[in-house]
Amino acid sequence: MTGAPRAGAYSNAALRDRIGHPVIDGDAHVLELGPVFINYVREVGGDIARHFDPFSGVPFENLHRTHHVEPGARGKAATRRPVPPWWVEASNTVDWASAAAPALLYSRLDEIGFDFVVLYPTIGISLLHASTDEIRQVACRAYNNWAADAFGEFSDRLRPVALVPMHTPAEALDEIEHIEALGLGAVLIPSYVWRVGRPDQDVPGWLDVFALDAEQDYDTVWARYETLGLAVTAHSPGMGWPDRASPTNFSFNHIGHFSASGELLAKALFFGGVTRRFPRLRFAFLEGGVATACRMYADLVSHWRRRGPAGIVELDPRGIDVDEIMSLLGQHDQTDGSCYPDDIRQSLERRRAAVALQDDFGAAAIESIEDLGRRFVSPFFFGAEADDPLTSWAFARTINPGGAALQVFFGSDIGHWDVRDFREPLVEAYEQVERGLIGPEDFRAFVFGNALDLYGGHPGFFSRAPFAAGHGQSPSKGQEVRNAG
């Protein structure tokens, strides 16, 4: 075939025989064909389609954030507008077509080495962040209709996630019911929503993360996700934030931006008590890798020891003896000359009186490291790409507090620019076993078990998968399925 992927000195078939268990790609990408998607927008929203670019399918209000911007409109230092990516799609012909044509991708799964692939959007990610309510809601509904139609006949091995807008609980709940009717068993939400400030009240704009200090109460939304068994995933850009806003250098903006947005939401869900109130919910943060997750978990343990209900008492400044401090300062010549003892005493008294104890971990109800495991380790899953050299950190039980193994899962990212050849990711991932960084059981969790647990809460998600044959229940609820293959 013209433009066929480069042949490599490897065989995924031979590697699969060596692995001996199924492989789930927990994060691949589709390339939506803009003109096709626009037809779905018209079906849902009629004349609303005029607000979308007819070639890319992106709303005009979001076009400046995407790779579809014309080269002459790229960011410049004078405007301070963050530079968008030049492109994000696969860069060889057959792979590009495979990401755009479900039937072609399906036909290549054995060649690529995957038993099952979970598919995330490309332009769809930006749809969640459209600021105009009607445009955002129509776009998400149209995307979900398209995804259900495009992949329905291939659902034994290909499953797309659905878009759920989260600007308000009402719009989220409305779309959740629609995707349940469509039979889509996992959702993609924005990691945050930008709330416009109120300058007249001296209130700046801010990032609402639905769980901590949220503008509205989202518990009805979390409850509905939990009832339906939907995996809730997040994959929002952090590019354009103040620390990632170069008008000339894309890589400067890109490095770590998914980690930053995922961390934002994960901390809010934890500190806001969502993982305590809805213990069966499963959340995934895509393409951030495991390093951020491990550091975040270690930081939570460290902060809990200092600012949890027990540790914070030891840090209470009200235990300071002001008289003794003044005596010690006087003995060491710190209250003479230009220093005024009465002012120093007053500042100490005022500081001590103004401080009130605050347990930052109260909403999460953390009383032990075991509680941290239940509130953070168990409900959270972290996507890592095949070539991430730090994936083994997730399984470093002698390093992670409490001997924890974090739930990292394999995401090939096929369909996007950082995968040169669709046949490479599984081989790259297995190199960590060959180098002794991950043992066979941890590798099984990485490329199979963790994704099975994440997505398998919905009874229909893996119901037709090759490895679920003969089982009449959701794989995540039957440990025997985890031993399939």
Structure tokens, 202: 């001296």
Place of tokens 């066929």: 4
Q: What is the pLDDT along the chain (485 residues), one digit of tens a residue?
A: 444 444 444 578 889 889 999 999 999 999 999 999 999 999 999 999 999 999 999 999 988 766 655 555 555 566 677 887 777 888 899 999 999 999 999 999 999 999 999 999 999 999 999 999 999 999 999 999 999 999 999 999 999 999 999 999 999 999 999 999 999 999 999 999 999 878 877 778 889 999 999 999 999 999 999 999 999 999 998 888 888 888 888 889 888 888 899 999 999 999 999 999 999 999 999 998 899 999 999 999 999 998 888 888 787 777 889 999 988 988 887 665 556 788 888 888 887 776 666 889 999 999 999 999 999 999 999 999 998 889 999 999 999 999 999 999 999 999 998 899 999 999 999 999 999 999 999 999 999 999 999 999 999 999 999 998 633 334 443 333 333 33
SS3 content of the chain, % helix, strand, coil (to 5): 50, 10, 40
Place of tokens 């803009």: 34
**Domains of the chain, with CATH numbers?**
12-306+363-482 (3.20.20.140), 317-354 (no CATH)
Give me the half-sphere count of Cα atoms (radius 13 Å) on the Cβ side of residue 103: 1
Sign (positive/negative) of CA torsion 81, 29, 42, 131?
A: negative
Kindly report the length of the chain. 485
d(CA 345, CA 485): 72
Find, among 62, 175, 176, the residue nearest to 126 by Cα. Answer: 62
d(CA 344, CA 289): 49
- Residue 420, classified by CB atoms within 10 Å of its CB into exposed (0-12), middle (13-18) or buried (19+), is middle
CB atoms within 10 A of CB 70: 7
Parallel/antiparallel/unpaired status of strands 193-195 and 206-208: antiparallel
Find, among 422, 400, 398, 403, the residue nearest to 412 by Cα. Answer: 422
* Beta bridge partner(s), residue 380: 283
Write the single-letter amino acid at 469: A
d(CA 248, CA 84): 9
